[in-house]
Amino acid sequence: MASKLKNNSKAMKSAKKEKKSSKEEKRIISRPILEGSEDMPSILEESSKAMKYAKKEKKSSKKEKKILKEEMISTDQEIAPKLQLLEDDENADSGSEEEFDVERKARALDIEKAQQEEEAEAELQMNIQERHDDFMLPTPEELEESSQKPPNLPAIFQRIKDIVRVLSDFKALRQEGVPRKDYVTQLAQDLSTYFGYNDFFVEMILQMFPAAEALEFFEANETPRPVVLRTNTLKARRRDLAGVLINRGVNLDPLGKWSKVGLVVYESQVPVGATPEYMAGHYMLQSASSFLPVMALAPQEKETVVDIAAAPGGKTTYLAALMKNTGIIFANEFKEKRMKSLSANLHRMGVTNTIVCNYDGRELPKVLGTNRVDRVLLDAPCSGTGVVSKDQSVKVSKSDVDIQNCATLQKELILAAIDMVDAFSKTGGYIVYSTCSITVAENEAVIDYALRKRNVKVVPCGLEFGRPGFIRFREKRFHTSLAETRRFYPHAHNLDGFFVAKLKKLNNDKALASDKGNSEDVDSVITIEPSLPELNTASNSPTDEKSVQELEDMIKSPSENVSTKKKKFFRKDLKNLPSKEEISKLREDKREALRKESKRKLSSDFTSSHVEAINAGEAKKKKHKKE
């Protein structure tokens, strides 16, 4: 190949020289004509001969170039771009400078690359057009056949994208006679197969997001979130810390405008968890989403703050830094094994205003007292559906039962958190609830439950970004103030899936079922005390008497008919039910009456038995005397 290229270049050089000589001859011949020489005929004859000779030479050079072109095409297709160079040389000016071989080769490579890109783009457009026109759902026979073979992942992923495209414009792209449900069912199966999730998880995500966004969510969970450092402002400044780490070979940038202490690490020549600065407590390795609940709580200096689930200490140390080591922080952790990491991080970061304790969070109001603290942070234990990129086992290990169990625990914890806060605190009275889950049952449903059970309201979190929480989800409807809560997603914000809500306590009284209009609480009150109908007998209205009679019948009736009679009663006369305070008062009166009755019986029994004993003794004495 190299020898042929050399020969070709030599031939081109000789052709150029011949071209130059012919032009020089023309110039020499034309000079005497312009000067008006006397030997005009002889000069014209010579010039015509020279012109003929030049034409012949030109033809021969063109033939040589043609032959060269044919040889280059036939030898190898990779040299095809060189033809462009030959054409450029032929059309170029004879006075232009001769190009170097390296330049020619570079130009040839550029031309070849451009051709390949054009061909690839044309092929891609053709494939897209074919798929756009011809996509059809697989038949049951095809699915059964493919299930008996190893999964073809590229084909499955392509089918996922095609179904997502169809669902985005269903009316225009749908297959005739195929309902939307079939597309969604096939999409769920393919997502489960391709990304490795169980059916419950895939169905939940498809209910929360449109198909295109659900695909983005699943893809985002396959890549880890960036490594983030939080500067410990008790010991260092972010600018100084960044300079030191850059000198150690760490490539980093500020996290974003929303954080003044975060640094995101792109790559590092040293382990960022083992530098002298880390050991000295100048920074904490912490996910960016963990900054958000602390920023929302915004603790002030000299306040009393409780962190209910504190380990491993990232949020607690951030709280201490914002409070500048003043006030008091109660860092509680239920699992004893995690206490070591919590206390170690507190010591390393130089925190001195924190008391570490090991209690069940639901029992903390009994330990610390109710209505005593200024602010509470509850980063509740959850299912972890927002941190799949960290823990891939979540894909298959979670079910609806797990979600409901977590939600029950979270409801108990948030009520305990609210009970500890003093509503009349001069600077506080706030509760922040957060989870690393994206399920509605663990987030909006828990906050809505707290609004119904306690005198609290939702207030803005103070975070500049994030999506608002749901106020309606499928058949569920939540309080409209839940739009002030914030959701964060890996595909939208490049953060772990997270939920943050901020509550303000309005009153130290526990919220009332009657104020909230919750019929479930009324139902529970009635079923707890079977003798409640007797309490309303003081009312003289016929409606009340009838309602009481129905309740008495309901209590005496068999258990299988209780539910139907209950429903009939509530539909008929819900407004005439006693309030919660009246029920509790009457219940206490009844208990007091029972206590008095039992005392009276005991005293009467005692006296009667005592009299009998005395009489028996006297009878024995009389008998003994007679004997």
pLDDT tens readout for residues 537-574:
334 444 444 444 554 454 444 444 444 444 444 444 44
What's 421's DSSP letter? Answer: B
Q: Both tokens of residue 521?
A: 């609480």
Tell me if 360 is assigned to a ligand binding site: yes
In angstroms, rounded to a whole number, what is the distance separating the alpha carbons of residues 173 and 423? Answer: 57
The answer to whether residue 436 is catalytic is yes
What residue spans of 76-225 are helical by DSSP H? 81-91, 101-134, 140-147, 153-168, 170-173, 180-195, 199-208, 211-220
- pLDDT over 90 at 256, yes or no: no
For the chain, the distance separating the N- and C-terminal CA atoms, rounded to the nearest angstrom, is 151
| Percent of the chain residues topping a pLDDT of 90 | 53
Residue 624: which pLDDT band, with cuts at 50, 70 and 90? Answer: low
For the question of whether the overall pTM of this predicted structure is more than 0.85, the answer is: no
Q: What is the DSSP letter of 338?
A: G
pLDDT of residue 498: 96
212 is in an annotated binding site: no
Which of 357, 382, 406, 436 does the annotation list as catalytic? 436
Asked if pLDDT for residue 40 goes beyond 80, the answer is no
| pLDDT of the residue at 33 | 40
Burial of 193 (0-12, 13-18, 19+ CB in 10 A): middle
Three-state SS string across 552-575, please? HHHHHCCHHHHHHHHHHHHHHHCC
Rounded Cα–Cα distance for residues 436 and 314 (Å): 14
Check the annotation: does 314 bind a ligand. yes
In a 3-state reduction of DSSP, which class is residue 477? strand
Provide the b/e sequence for 134-172 (b: ≥16 CB within 10 Å).
ebebeeeeeeeeeeeeeeeeeebbebbebbbbbbeeeee
pLDDT category of residue 42 using cuts at 50, 70 and 90:
low
Q: Compute the average pLDDT of residues 498-518.
A: 75
Tens digits of per-residue pLDDT, 137-168? 888 888 888 888 888 899 999 999 999 999 98
Does 513 score more than 50 pLDDT?
no
Residue 292 pLDDT class (50, 70, 90 cuts): very high
Residue range 601-616, pLDDT digits in tens? 766 665 666 667 667 7
pLDDT, residue 526, reads 34
Average pLDDT over residues 582-608: 76
- Is residue 466 part of an annotated ligand binding site? no
Distance CA(484)–CA(471), nearest Å, equals 10
Is the pLDDT reported for residue 518 higher than 60?
Answer: no
d(CA 306, CA 355): 10
Which has the higher per-residue pLDDT, 538 or 426?
426
* 581 assigned to a ligand binding site: no
Q: How does the average pLDDT of the chain come out, rounded?
A: 79
* DSSP label of 509: E
Torsion angle in degrees (nearest 10) through CA of 211, 217, 218, 223: 150
Is 311 assigned a ligand-binding role in the annotation? yes
Sign of the dihedral defined by the CA atoms of residues 111, 115, 121, 124, in that order: negative
State whether residue 385 is helix, strand or coil. Answer: coil
Q: Residue 271: which region, alpha, beta or left (left: phi > 0; alpha: psi -120 to 50)?
A: beta
Instruction: Give the pLDDT of residue 464.
Output: 86
Closest by CA to 79, choosing from 10, 4, 13, is 4
